Structures are given as structure tokens and as C-alpha cells.
């Protein structure tokens, strides 16, 4: 047997051994589509804003109070050279923030010419839910003023609900632009 024939035979043996000892493909796992959003806390509840509706999350920046505006507008912050009007989301909806000031966060919303910050009790980062865990119902909403901005909920396997809150719906609310006190 020639040298090249022996080498070819060795390669055939290696290939046969590889085929005989190879493991099968892993079981196919059904991949479920997921919905993603930014989780936050308000009124002691978990909410989630659709991913494309929040452009940034910030620690509560230093801000300058504005005279002659509703109490739900604490002031104006300079964020990297842009003026960011801040809205206390809890106060706007008829409640109050519960977290200590150092724990509060700002969800930055930008759509068209609108650039605004919503102060919340805390941010819980990106959340992902199987789309089949969505329900149009929402349980336990204490503030009726929130209802126009809510879009159902997602339920985790542990039974915890996340209510979908739309910042874009909020910034389309006529009252949102009525920041100045009458008079």
C-alpha cells in the first residue's frame, strides 16, 4: 500500500469514527416572540414603557425651579447642553412620589419636537415578556388619571403583573402642555 493510500485510509477511518460518535442535533426549542420595554416603579407598582418610547434613563439631575407653573413641573434641567423640562409623573397623575430623592430616576421621552423627562420612583431596566403573556386588562389601578395612558399588562410566570404605560400617549395629552398656572 502506498503512502498516499495509507493516508487516505486513515482519513476514512477518522471520518467513520466521527460519524459513529457524533451526538445528534439539540432538540429544537420553540422560540417565542418577546415584547421589550423599560421597567419602572410608580405608586409602589411595576410599570413598563414600550422600548421605543423612552430614549434615555437618567439619575435625577439638578434642575432650576420655574415660577408660575403647576406643582407637577419641578423645573428645568440642562442635560448635555439641552434643556429638559421635568415632570413629576406621580403628581401629574394625582399622587406623589414615594422613593427618596436619591433613588428617583428620569425617563427621557423624545418624539418630534417634544423632549421631556418623567420623574419616577425608580427604573428597573429592560424587561422582556412573551407576547402571549399580554392581556388588555389591568388590575388595581388606583389613579383614574392614569387610565388613558395604559395599554394592558404582561403577567410573569410568578403571577406578577407589569402594566404597560405609554409615555407617547402622555405627551399627546392636552393637559401635559398646560404647565402654566392660570391667572
Q: Per residue in 33-75, pLDDT tens?
A: 999 999 999 999 999 999 999 999 999 999 999 999 999 999 9
Domain segments of the chain as ranges: 35-177
CATH 2.40.50.180 corresponds to the domain 35-177: yes
Contact 65, 73 (CB under 8 A): no
Q: What is the pLDDT of residue 143?
A: 79
Q: pTM here?
A: 0.81
Sheet of 75-79: strands edge to edge? 56-59, 105-111, 114-120, 82-88, 75-79
Q: What is the pLDDT of residue 183?
A: 63
Interatomic CA distance for residues 164 and 153, integer angstroms = 5
Phi–psi pair at 23, nearest 5 degrees? -85, 155
Quickly tell me which residue has 422613593 as its cell: 99
> Any idea what the Cα angle at residue 88 is, between residues 83 and 170, rounded to 5°?
85
Amino acid at each position: 500500500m502506498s503512502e498516499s493510500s495509507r493516508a487516505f485510509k486513515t482519513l476514512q477511518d477518522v471520518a467513520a469514527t466521527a460519524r459513529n460518535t457524533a451526538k445528534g442535533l439539540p432538540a429544537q426549542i420553540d422560540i417565542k416572540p418577546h415584547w421589550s420595554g423599560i421597567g419602572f416603579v410608580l405608586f409602589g407598582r411595576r410599570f413598563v414603557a414600550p422600548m421605543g418610547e423612552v430614549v434615555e434613563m437618567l439619575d435625577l439631575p439638578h434642575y432650576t425651579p420655574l415660577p408660575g407653573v403647576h406643582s407637577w413641573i419641578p423645573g428645568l434641567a440642562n442635560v448635555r447642553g439641552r434643556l429638559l423640562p421635568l415632570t413629576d409623573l406621580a403628581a401629574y397623575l394625582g399622587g406623589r412620589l414615594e422613593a427618596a430623592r436619591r433613588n428617583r430616576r428620569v425617563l427621557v421621552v423624545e418624539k418630534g419636537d417634544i423632549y421631556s423627562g418623567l420623574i419616577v420612583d425608580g427604573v428597573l431596566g429592560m424587561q422582556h415578556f412573551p407576547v402571549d403573556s399580554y392581556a388588555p386588562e389591568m388590575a388595581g389601578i388606583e389613579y383614574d388619571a392614569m387610565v388613558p395612558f395604559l395599554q394592558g399588562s404582561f403577567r410573569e410566570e410568578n403571577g406578577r403583573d407589569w402594566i404597560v404605560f405609554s409615555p407617547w400617549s402622555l405627551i399627546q395629552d392636552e393637559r401635559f402642555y398646560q404647565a402654566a398656572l392660570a391667572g
